[in-house]
Structure formats: C-alpha cells, structure tokens
Structure 1
C-alpha cells in the first residue's frame, strides 16, 4: 500500500488528507488547535478517529502517545542521536517495539519490527514536489498505526528543530 502525504510543517490546527497512489483520500490528519498539548487525530473517510496522537505532558524527554478507542496504543520517543540518522523507539502497548530510523527531516526513514521492514517513508519514488510517500510493505501491518507513527516522529523532529 502506497500513501501520499503533502509535505509541510505540521502545525497544530492544520488538517490535511493522506491519499493513496491513485489520488483517493484515505486518512484525514486533523490537528487540534487550542489544546494545552499537541494533539492530532487520524481519521478515516467517515470521520471516525482511528488513532489519537498526543504530546505526553510531564515527560523527561519529548514523548508522544498514540491511543485507539481511548486505550493506549503506543509511546514514541527519541531513542538516541547520531550524526547521520535519527532514531525513535515506539513502545507498543503489547510490550513489543518498533524502531524508526533514517533521515526524518529529509523524509527518508523506515519503520521496522524486530529488524523487518514494515513501512518505508520516502520521497524517492515520487515525482510530485513537496510530497513524501508512506509505503507499507507488509500486508498484515496496521496502516493507521504506521501513518500515525510517521506523523508523530516528523512532528517531534520539526518541533525540536524549531526549538534549536
């Protein structure tokens, strides 16, 4: 499954559609303005909230939480920094982990589970300017979760860059 995301700095209050490779709308990212903490909702075509993405308050390091149906789904935080790549860890509610690594600011990164590629986020295969793709490579992967992870790590990276 290939999804297209119009690249822009993800500000709170910004809403945008994520489309499939044929231009059909698949998900709406709804940025919630006027909140004490950064909040986004990933919705389907009917407006049903699939995943709520929130900044975790009172955390020692920048953390975003993902919720589904009001239940914790995952916590995302920076794993460590190196000169060439950014790394985030996604701690899933079931105790497993996803690893997010690559050049987040360049929109060239991957989401892996136990060393196996789940999603590739890239501009490489696109000819549309200011757009990046989310290619979900496993059929049994959760597209809403992987899109929410991409939205969260990009937002966290953009916010960190603005603060420095």
Structure 2
C-alpha cells in the first residue's frame, strides 16, 4: 500500500493528512502545540490516536519514541557513526529492530529488517513540492503501516532539526 505525505515545513502545532493510494484520508498527523518536547499524534480518520511520537528532551544523538496506549513501541535514534547522518536505527519493544538508510533530506530512503525492505520512502516521481510517498512493501511482518509511517515522520523530523 502506498501513502502520500504532504510534508510541510514543520512548525509547532502543524496538522496534515496522509492519504492512501486512492486519495482517501488514511492518517492525520496532529502536531501538539505548547509542549515541552516535540509531540505528534498519528490518528485514524475517525480521530482515534494510533500512536504518539515524542522527541526525547535530553538525548545526545537525538531520539524520538513511538508510543501506543502509553507504552513505548519503538525508539528511533540516529546511528553514532554515520556519514551525513543518513542512517537511523529503530529499537522495537518486541522483535528485532529496523534500520533506516538513504538520503533522508531528499526523501529517498528505506526501512529494513535484517536486509529485507519493509517500506520505501520517495519523492522521485512526484512534482509537488514537499510531498513524498511511503510505500509499505511488506505488511505481513508484524510491523504495521502506522508504525512504518511513524518511523518515516520521525526520521524526517529529526534530520530537519539537524
């Protein structure tokens, strides 16, 4: 399944829709204003919170957590020894972690587990400025689309802050 993210210049409190490949609204990214740390909620079209993305306040390498129902589902961190900061690691609460690598600021990167591509992020075929796709390649791995989209949003946000 392919999702279209209209990536904005992030400001406090920004909200934007992520659409599926048929143009239907699939997820709402709801930026929370006036919070001590960077906080976003990924909601379904009915307004239910699927996951909450939070920037860690005191982190040397930069990190964000993905939480579901108050429990940490994943932690996204920039790898220590990565050239141009284009490599991130996602530690999952359950199961093996994910690796994210590519040209993050160009929105050309992939999310992998043990060398197997789970999602590709690209704006290669789009002419609309600040828009990219999250193509969920494998949905049968126990990693759902909401988590993969959350990882992409976290990585892009962290890269832009650097």
Q: Same fold (TM over 0.5)?
A: yes
Whether the 8 Å CA contact 2:118–2:139 is kept in 1: the answer is: no
Whether the 8 Å CA contact 1:27–1:45 is kept in 2: the answer is: yes
Equivalenced residues, count: 159
Whether the 8 Å CA contact 1:12–1:39 is kept in 2: the answer is: no
Q: Is 2:135 aligned against 1:148?
A: no
With normalisation by structure 1, the TM-score equals: 0.91
Equivalent residue for 1:124? 124
Structure 1 runs (4+) deviating above 4 angstroms are: none
**Partner secondary structure for residue 105 of structure 2:** helix
Q: What is the CA-CA distance between 1:90 and the residue it aligns to?
A: 0.3
**Partner secondary structure for residue 90 of structure 2:** strand
**Partner secondary structure for residue 19 of structure 1:** strand
Structure 1 window deviating more from structure 2 (37-46 vs 91-100): it is 91-100
Equivalent residue for 1:70? 70
Q: Is 2:85 aligned against 1:81?
A: no
Q: What is the CA-CA distance between 1:94 and the residue it aligns to?
A: 1.4
**Partner secondary structure for residue 105 of structure 1:** coil
Q: How does 1:1-164 map to 2 (within 5 A)?
A: 1-79=1-79, 80-83=81-84, 86-140=86-140, 141-160=143-162
Using the alignment, how far apart are the partners of 2:153 and 2:107 within structure 1? 11
1:96-149 deviation line (CA, Å, top 9, x unaligned): 210000001000000001110000000123344431100000132410000000
CA RMSD of the aligned region, Å?
Answer: 1.4
Q: Any gaps of 5 or more consecutive residues in structure 1?
A: none
